[in-house]
Every structure is written in C-alpha cells, then in structure tokens.
Amino acid sequence: MGKQYQITEFCHHFLKDYIQENDCCIDATAGNGNDTEFLCRMAGEYGKVYAFDIQEEAVTNTRRRLEQAGLSERAVLICGGHERMLEYVREEVAVIVFNFGYLPGGDHRIATRAETSLPAVRQGLELLKVGGVMNLCIYSGGDTGYEERDALLAFVKGLDTKKWLVIVSSYYNRKNDPPLPVFIIRLR
C-alpha cells in the first residue's frame, strides 16, 4: 500500500477478489493503461481485456505499456467511445472499470461526459455476470465540474436492490472534492 493510498490502488485492492484466471474484463477508459495492465495481469494468460478510449494518444500509451509488460496478447484495444461497448463486446464479463475524467498528462478539455458515460454504464451492466463488479472512479470539481458525478450518483441510487449492490466509498476527511470510488456488484 502506497503512502497516499490513491483511488486506483484502493479499487484494485477491492477488485482482486472478483477476477479469476481466464476471465473477460473491460477497461472502459484506457488512458495511460494502468487499469488495463492490472486487469490483464489478473485475468491471466488466457484472459481477455477489452480497453476503450476515444483518444489515439491514450490507445498508443496503453499499447506501449502492455507491450513493455509482455501483456499485449491479452488485450483488445479499441479507439472508440465506451458508449458503443455493446457493439464490441458480446460475452459476459467479470469486472468493468471506469476511471472518468481526462487523460493524465493530456488535454483536460477531452474528458468523459455524463451524456456518454451514462449509456456506457448501462451497457456495461448488461454485460456483467452474476457475482461480477463494475467499478466507477468518479472525480468532481476543478476542470471536471459536478454534472457527471451527480448524474452517475443519481443513476446508481436508483438501481434495483434485488439485482444490484451499490457501494459508494469516500475519502471522508479529505477536502476539495476527493474522488469517489463506487462499486456495483451484480447479485443475480
């Protein structure tokens, strides 16, 4: 555990229990490939990870990272919006990760938006197997604003309690809009 216990570290820790060798997973926002690499490692040699990003730069960074780690064979990289997820993924998945916002080190104006994030989350839930989990890392404030966070939180609040368990964690004593780790577990 790092000194800061960053949101991705916290989420990966939680997600480990939900991924087994050979599983299929989705990284809905590949960015620089940190989550894609994690999912590829967890899914093992015969696992499969679909990774989406709308920016060529992100897909290139992710590809390079996976190549360096010797993991590229496990991933299908898609330069396209996650709101088209169902066009690309036709199998049940164990884990789906959304790390919203902008590409670290990239253009802050190119970021996820509620109008595409919500359809993507809905589609992801359709693909999730029983016992699987969707992870949302939600940011707000600063360049990001509050619209996407509010829309996502309102949506998950309304999910059927018989079918879904929704856990919203918080960095409770941190100031200035700390990130929100959310987990949506499919119960049946």
Ligand X SMILES: C[S@@+](CC[C@H](N)C(=O)[O-])C[C@H]1O[C@@H](n2cnc3c(N)ncnc32)[C@H](O)[C@@H]1O
Do strands 128-138 and 93-99 pair parallel, antiparallel, or not at all (unpaired)? parallel
Q: Does 119 bind ligand X (CB under 6 A)?
A: no
Q: Does 31 bind ligand X (CB under 6 A)?
A: yes
Size of the site for ligand X (CB under 6 A): 23
Q: Does 103 bind ligand X (CB under 6 A)?
A: yes
Q: Does 149 bind ligand X (CB under 6 A)?
A: no
**Is-contact 184 127, C-beta < 8 A?**
no
Q: Residues 15, 47, 99, 124: which binds ligand X (CB under 6 A)?
A: 99
Question: Closest CB to ligand X among 108 and 163?
Answer: 108
Q: Which of 110, 125, 6 is nearest to 53 (CA)?
A: 110
Q: Does 148 bind ligand X (CB under 6 A)?
A: no
Distance between CA 99 and CA 178 in Å, rounded? 14
Q: Which amino acid is at 32?
A: N
Neighbouring CB atoms inside 10 A of 76's CB total 13
Cβ-proximal residue to ligand X, closest one:
31
Residues in contact with ligand X by CB under 6 A are 29-35, 52-55, 58, 81-83, 99, 101-103, 110-112, 116
